[in-house]
Amino acid sequence: MRLSDYLRSHAARVTCSLVLLIAIAVLLPPLGVGRDGVLLVLIICAVLEAIPFAWGWLRQHSFNEALSALAREEEDAVSLAKDLPEPEYPEGELAWQAIQNVVRAAQAESNEAQASVEEYRRYVETWVHEVKTPLAACRLMLANAKSPDNAQLSRELGRIDSYVEQALYYARSTSVEKDYLVRAVPADRLVKDAVSSRARTLIEAHMAVDLSGLAQPDGTVPELYCDPKWMDFVLGQLIDNAIKYRAQPQADGRAPRLSFSTRVEDAGTARERAVLSVSDNGCGIAEADLPRVFDRGFTGQNGRSHQKSTGMGLYLVRTLCQKMGLAVGVRSRVGVGTTIEIAFPRERSRMLRDVTAGQDSSPANLTEV
Higher pLDDT, 361 or 64: 64
Residues 190 and 79 in one domain: no
CA distance 298 to 5: 47
For 46-85, write each residue's pLDDT tens digit.
Answer: 888 888 878 777 777 777 777 777 777 777 788 778 878 8
Helix (H, G, I), strand (E, B) or coil at 38: helix
Q: Is residue 150 part of a domain?
A: no
Q: Is residue 162 part of a domain?
A: no
For residue 352, pLDDT over 70 is answered with no
Query: What residues make up the domain containing 255?
Result: 182-369
| Domain annotation covers residue 320 | yes
Q: Residue 222, Cβ neighbours under 10 Å: how many? A: 20
Residues 356, 215 share a domain:
yes
> Rounded CA gap, 247 and 243, in Å?
9
How many structural domains are present in the chain? 2
Residue 190: CATH number of its domain: 3.30.565.10
> Per-residue pLDDT tens for 74-130?
777 887 788 788 887 787 888 888 888 988 888 898 888 888 888 888 888 888 878
pLDDT of res. 307: 59
Which of 108, 125, 154 is a domain's end point?
Answer: 108
pLDDT given at position 359: 46
Q: What angle do CA 348, 354, 355 make, to 5 degrees?
A: 85
pLDDT tens readout for residues 308-349 = 677 788 999 998 898 888 999 999 999 899 999 999 987 654
Looking at the fold, whether 7 and 94 belong to one and the same domain comes out as yes
Q: What pLDDT does residue 212 have?
A: 92
The backbone region for 273, taken as left when phi is positive above 0, alpha when psi lies in -120 to 50, beta otherwise, is beta
Phi and psi at 134, nearest 5°, equal: -65, -30
In a domain, 209, yes or no: yes
* Residue that terminates a domain, selected from 108, 142, 168: 108
Residue 132 contacts by C-beta under 8 Å, 6 or more apart in sequence?
Answer: 161, 164
Q: Is the pLDDT of residue 361 over 60?
A: no
pLDDT-above-70 percentage for the chain: 89
Q: Tell whether 214 and 345 lie within a shared domain.
A: yes
